[in-house]
């Protein structure tokens, strides 16, 4: 199906939904009671998405926020409240009906917030060719919209272009655990359902890295739909456009605390738990971002850790039989590869079948934030417990 035809069909469907009140994609969980205090009902009833807009939880006062696929304006209006009068919010959408509703309600929202004028503007445009100046955005948010773009790599490059050095994104979208087959890719209706346009998690994150973002990591995930054995699930991801390093870092070494036994970062550097690794200033900047900070210790001199040091962390599987229940784990950053203490090697975005003992390990505090867990079993599993080999071979 030609790209222009996909875009037009998606736009037409969302315009129809705005007029009829049809629910699109998967409804988002908002605190409607709070939003109703300043956002008109006309906006609230046409709000769609694939996850609570986690990006809004990271908004800072005075920032410039960009919402890709702003629809009726709900996330822009909440961002307007969060950035305050001194901040600025830009919403981009390709559907005239949505833009008309958002623009019509902007003045009312500003008045309800006590602002002398609206700090929100809505621009017509495409996600892969955004009408936004280079390097002007502190935070990019988007809720189940990039999935609808035929060329997502262009969208990711546009995001990187408009982000300030030191800027960031937090976006929710639908991804798939396998490559979407052509019979779904060419199903126009399922494009509007946020299914046919889904990339695998591996390809989605790879597109962001190719654009220049680093420190990409999972904020949350949840299952969405299963079609013909393909699992579609919602992910919320955050990443950074790191600023150029102007001064040498005081940190010259990084030591992995755990709980991973070994990790590889996005620049290809391998870290073994407890062993200091020489780093440069750019590495220090990357490893100082929030997703790495809990796992790494940065020092001016080499720091060795062993299991007697309270900073050294590990989670070992229970020494009991395990069962296979259909669970698969997908590493979702910030590492491109990681290994646990039971000889499992996880590669970012690639599903790895895991047993019940490994599932318990990955649900602990140190591991859980980095994994999306799916269950591919089509029915209840009644497999008998088996004994794992000492080297973890059964898993």
Give the CA radius of gyration of the chain.
22
Query: Which pLDDT tens digit goes with each residue over 146-181?
Result: 988 889 999 999 999 999 999 999 999 999 999 999
Strand order across the 345-347 sheet:
270-272, 262-264, 337-339, 345-347
pLDDT at 122: 98
Q: Is 130's pLDDT higher than 90?
A: yes
Q: For the whole prediction, is pTM greater than 0.85? A: yes
Mean pLDDT of all residues in the chain? 89
Structure tokens at 316: 């070992």
Burial class (CB in 10 A: 0-12, 13-18, 19+), 262: middle
Cα dist from 26 to 11, 303, 327, whole Å: 17, 48, 23
163, 137 in Cβ contact below 8 A?
yes
The reply to whether omega before 160 is within 30° of 0 (cis) is no
Query: Which pLDDT tens digit goes with each residue over 338-388?
Result: 999 999 999 999 999 999 999 999 999 999 999 999 999 977 776 667 766
Q: Determine the number of helices (DSSP H) and then strands (DSSP E) in the chain.
A: 12, 17
d(CA 116, CA 322): 63
When pLDDT is cut at 50, 70 and 90, the band that residue 17 belongs to is: very low
- Helix/strand/coil for 292: helix
When pLDDT is cut at 50, 70 and 90, the band that residue 52 belongs to is: low
State the DSSP string of 345-371: EEETT--EE--HHHHHHHTSTTTGGGE
pLDDT at 6: 47
Structure tokens at 387: 């004994």
Rounded average pLDDT over 51-55 = 64
194, 174 in Cβ contact below 8 A?
yes
Query: Which pLDDT tens digit goes with each residue over 254-265?
Result: 999 999 999 999
Q: Is 58's pLDDT higher than 60?
A: yes
Residue percentage of the chain with pLDDT more than 90: 73
237, 170 in Cβ contact below 8 A?
yes
- Helix/strand/coil for 297: strand
DSSP secondary structure letter of residue 25: B
CATH 3.40.50.150 fits 3-240, yes or no: yes
State the DSSP string of 194-221: T-TTPPBHHHHHHHHHHHT-EEEEEEEE
When pLDDT is cut at 50, 70 and 90, the band that residue 11 belongs to is: very low
Q: Is 22's pLDDT higher than 60?
A: no
Q: Is 324's pLDDT higher than 80?
A: yes
């Amino acid at each position: 199906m030609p790209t222009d035809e996909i875009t037009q069909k998606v736009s037409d469907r969302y315009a129809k939904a705005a007029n009829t009140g049809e629910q699109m994609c998967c409804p988002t969980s908002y605190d409607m009671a709070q939003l109703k205090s300043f956002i008109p009902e006309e906006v609230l009833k046409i709000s769609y998405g694939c996850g609570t807009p986690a990006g809004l939880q990271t908004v800072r006062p005075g920032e410039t926020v960009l919402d890709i696929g702003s629809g009726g304006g709900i996330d822009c209006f909440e961002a307007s409240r969060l950035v305050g009068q001194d901040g600025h919010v830009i919403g981009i959408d390709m559907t005239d009906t949505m833009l008309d509703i958002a623009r019509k309600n902007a003045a009312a929202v500003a008045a309800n917030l006590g602002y002398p004028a609206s700090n929100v503007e809505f621009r017509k445009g495409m996600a892969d060719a955004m009408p936004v100046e280079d390097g002007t955005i502190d935070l990019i948010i988007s809720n189940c919209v990039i999935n609808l773009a035929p060329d997502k790599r262009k969208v990711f490059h546009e995001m990187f272009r408009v982000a300030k050095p030191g800027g960031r994104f937090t976006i929710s979208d639908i991804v798939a655990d396998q490559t979407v087959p052509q019979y779904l890719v060419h199903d126009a209706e399922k494009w509007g359902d946020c299914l046919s346009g889904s990339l695998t998690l591996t390809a989605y994150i790879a597109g962001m890295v190719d654009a220049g973002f680093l420190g990409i990591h999972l904020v949350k995930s949840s299952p969405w739909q299963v079609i013909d054995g393909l699992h579609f699930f919602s992910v919320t991801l955050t990443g950074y456009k790191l600023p150029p390093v102007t001064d040498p870092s005081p940190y010259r070494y990084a030591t992995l605390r755990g709980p991973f036994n070994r990790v590889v970062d996005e620049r290809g550097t391998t870290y073994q738990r407890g062993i200091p690794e020489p780093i440069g200033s750019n590495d220090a900047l990357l490893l100082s971002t929030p997703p790495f900070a809990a796992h790494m210790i940065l020092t001016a001199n080499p720091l060795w850790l062993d299991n007697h040091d309270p900073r050294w962390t590990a989670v070992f599987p229970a020494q009991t039989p395990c069962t296979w229940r259909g669970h698969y784990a997908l590493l979702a950053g910030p590492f491109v590869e990681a290994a646990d203490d039971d000889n499992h090697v996880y590669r970012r975005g690639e599903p790895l079948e895991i047993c019940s003992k490994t599932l318990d390990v990955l649900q602990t505090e140190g591991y859980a934030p980095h994994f999306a867990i799916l269950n591919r079993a089509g029915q209840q599993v009644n497999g008998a417990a088996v004994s794992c080999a000492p080297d973890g071979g059964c898993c």
